[in-house]
Chains A and B, each alone.
Chain A
Amino acid sequence: MEAHSAEEMQRHVKTYFAVYIALLVLTVATVGVSYLHTTTAMHILAAMVVALVKGSLVAAIFMHLSNEKKIIIYSLVLTVTFFVVLMLIPVLMECEIFRYLDRMVS
């Protein structure tokens, strides 16, 4: 981030505290949801949505990504793309071609 004026920093500080409160509220919410008797699928969905919102708040505000240079944003877009591939590995494992390859190896 660039150099900041005093008033600007005061505004930032207010945002930081607001985000902190939001993170606490969302933490309580995610624990609360786990006590409701919902289906596992609904529960996983709710927990992941809350975690994504919390994570985005930390990344955007605490890590200043909401106001960051393009080169860093581009690097992270690339990272997220490959992260999604990693998350899809369990799904890919179910594909016939991978089962075939697995049999070939073993």
Chain B
Amino acid sequence: MSAVIPYISKPHPVTGVTNAKFGIWLFLASEVMLFGALFSAYIVLRVGAETWPLGSEYLSVPWAFANTVVLITSSLTMVMSWAALQMNNFAKYKKYMGATVLLSFGFLIIKYIEYSAKFHHGYFPANNTFLAIYFTMTGLHGIHVLGGIIVNGYLLFPGSKMWHTEPERFAGRVECAGLYWHFVDLVWIFLFPVLYLL
């Protein structure tokens, strides 16, 4: 190795956590503000609108409910994949991480079905402010899901080689990826009622 990044698998003496974990939390803090700005925009648009449709007038609550279950389940399998590494069970890690990636694809497939149905009915972001904010928020969230698939897919296949050489560092990577993934789940927990149920 030409350059060694310090405190990547051992906690930094000042912060008490690895630099990697502190870094991902700061990134998530910026993500809170990114999505926060959109939630704020939603309130401004809704308060300022003369009429606001009930989400279910345009959107499918059953599909969104299914997607909520899918995402919550993927959060469980994600944390279980990390727990498997803590118990030195690499085979179990692979199983749970594989399930997480599959469930993430499941989420995107359901989202694709939903979007297609909207387009088929002629519902586009340009139609009204409700659809505009719906597509903006779920679109940005969908991109985050895609990002999670890329990272988790890497940790599932090529990246998992690291377990055999630097297990502590690898477990740290899985933990950081997990923190990101739970955040994506957390955003959906708020998006679901705000867009579909209220």
Q: Give residues in A with beta carbon < 8 Å to B.
A: 1, 3-4, 6, 9, 12-13, 16-17, 19-20, 23-24, 27, 30-31, 34, 40, 43-44, 47-48, 50-51, 54-55, 58-59, 62-63, 69-72, 75-76, 78-80, 82-83, 86-87, 89-90, 93
CB contact between B72 and one of A23, A48, A79, A82 (< 8 Å): that residue: A23
CB contact between B16 and one of A24, A43, A70, A76 (< 8 Å): that residue: A70
CB contact between A89 and one of B33, B44, B65 (< 8 Å): that residue: B44
0 or 1 for each of B23-65: is its CB under 8 Å from A? (1 = yes): 0011001001100110110011001000000001000010001
B40 lies within 8 A of A87 (CB) = yes
Interface size on B, residues (CB 8 A): 46
A55 lies within 8 A of B189 (CB) = yes
B87 lies within 8 A of A9 (CB) = yes
Residues of the A chain whose Cβ atoms lie less than 8 Å from the Cβ of B39: 86-87
* In the assembled complex, B68 has its CB within 8 A of some CB on chain A: yes
- From B55, which residue of chain A is reached at the shortest CB distance? A34
Given contacts A23-B72, A31-B61, 14 further A-B contacts (CB under 8 A): A20-B72, A20-B73, A27-B65, A31-B65, A58-B75, A63-B182, A69-B16, A71-B15, A72-B17, A72-B25, A79-B32, A82-B33, A86-B40, A93-B44
Known: A9-B86, A34-B197, A76-B25. A24 touches B190 (CB 8 A): no
CB contact between B76 and one of A16, A40, A89 (< 8 Å): that residue: A16
A24 lies within 8 A of B182 (CB) = no
Known: A51-B189, A69-B15. A89 touches B198 (CB 8 A): no
A71 lies within 8 A of B193 (CB) = no
B193 lies within 8 A of A30 (CB) = yes
B47 lies within 8 A of A69 (CB) = no
- From B62, which residue of chain A is reached at the shortest CB distance? A31
Known: A16-B76, A55-B186, A59-B186. A90 touches B40 (CB 8 A): yes
Residues of the B chain whose Cβ atoms lie less than 8 Å from the Cβ of A44: 198
Residues of the B chain whose Cβ atoms lie less than 8 Å from the Cβ of A13: 80, 83
Residues of the B chain whose Cβ atoms lie less than 8 Å from the Cβ of A27: 65, 68-69, 72, 192
